[in-house]
Homo-oligomer: A and B are copies of this chain.
Amino acid sequence: MIRAGIIGATGYAGGELVRLLLGHSDTEIRWFGSKSYIDQKYAQVYRNMFELVEDICLDDNLTELASQVDVIFTATPQGYLASILTEEILNQVKIIDLSADYRIKDVSIYEAWYQIEHKSPQFLKEAVYGLCEVNRETIRSARLVANPGCYTTCSILTAYPLVKEGLIDPNSLIIDAKSGVSGAGRGAKVPNLFCEVNENIKAYGVASHRHTPEIEEQLGYAAGRPVTVSFTPHLIPMNRGILATEYATLVKPVSYSQVKAIYDQYYADEKFIRVLDEGVCPETRWVEGSNFVDINFKIDERTGRIVLMGALDNLVKGAAGQAVQNMNLLFGKPETEGLAFAPIFP
């Protein structure tokens, strides 16, 4: 039985982790950490857990927690984990960090985009970027996993095979992404009120969103050279889901079956990546509540571009589900354990 602790269990990603771990046959949650709800019953914060979770929220004490569990999930604000992580803790326990603290190798890029000082850059090198389908083998033996961002998981996996195979010009890549509102977190802010978000769509963080350097770094590894992309996120009036629509210039004319073959080469055996039938566009409703990423593409001969589309559930494959998938890798469990359920519709 894997003993797990969650720091930040009362945010949306933390709540989803609880839901998923309750359904995991081989895990026990020992610690429901929270900054805002200490000493309250967890099931009073998330009443879906009434009669399912009897625990009380504890404070976010990483050191104490490290001695009690096998794995810690940190679903905390940027900079928090970096400010308290120590070698001692890493010697005791596996850490899966859902924040951005260890996702970017170059500390100056992290500090430029996040506008905070990184307090423990010494761990950046060993941290493994937890995009399971790309870094599966290195994850298995990691102590510290940097769980990817929601937009980035979707954006990278959708383009990865074509960048890796050199089929598209990576610097031509334009990613227009759309996210449900749970990605904005559970903080009480006017812009996230129902009446402000409902019946509305907007772009935000244009040419400045923090997921941009994360996408560029990972696609840069695939391309074998630095990559610069345009990335624009949008807020959609729905609870869950991310759709990434990506545009890239093809480096040579290709046929549908050539591109399909490349995707199959990378993803045919991947349980959580579904390359759809020809002509079918990914939709977030078909992956809701699940760990799937649905991907497809359309060649546009008129413009010499290819349009790529990827859809996932931002709280599952974009956060908690991928974290559980990483946990399974870390502890030698079947990768689909606790994640092998169908999407829920409608």
Contact = CB atoms under 8 A, between A and B. Distances in A.
Given A50-B294, A178-B178, A245-B176, A207 B307 contact: yes
Contact of A237 (B203, B237, B286): B237
A124 interface: no
Contact of A203 (B52, B281, B303): B281
Nearest to A229: B303
A288 B199 contact: yes
A345 B245 CA distance: 26
Nearest to A303: B230
Interface in A283-315: 283-290, 294, 298-300, 302-303, 305, 307, 309, 311
Contacts of A153: none
Contact of A243 (B46, B171, B199, B201): B201
A229 to B, nearest CB: 7
Given A182-B195, A280-B47, A243 B234 contact: yes
Given A202-B243, A341-B23, A345-B15, A50 B182 contact: no
Contacts of A300: 206-207, 230
Interface residues of A, number: 84
A1 interface: no
Contacts of A47: 276, 280, 283, 286
A25 to B, nearest CB: 11
6 contacts: A47-B286, A48-B342, A198-B239, A202-B285, A230-B247, A239-B346
Interface of A: 12, 15, 18-19, 22-23, 44, 46-52, 171, 174, 176, 178, 180-182, 186, 188-190, 192-204, 206-207, 228-230, 232, 234, 236-241, 243, 245, 247, 274, 276-277, 280-290, 294, 298-300, 302-303, 305, 307, 309, 311, 341-346
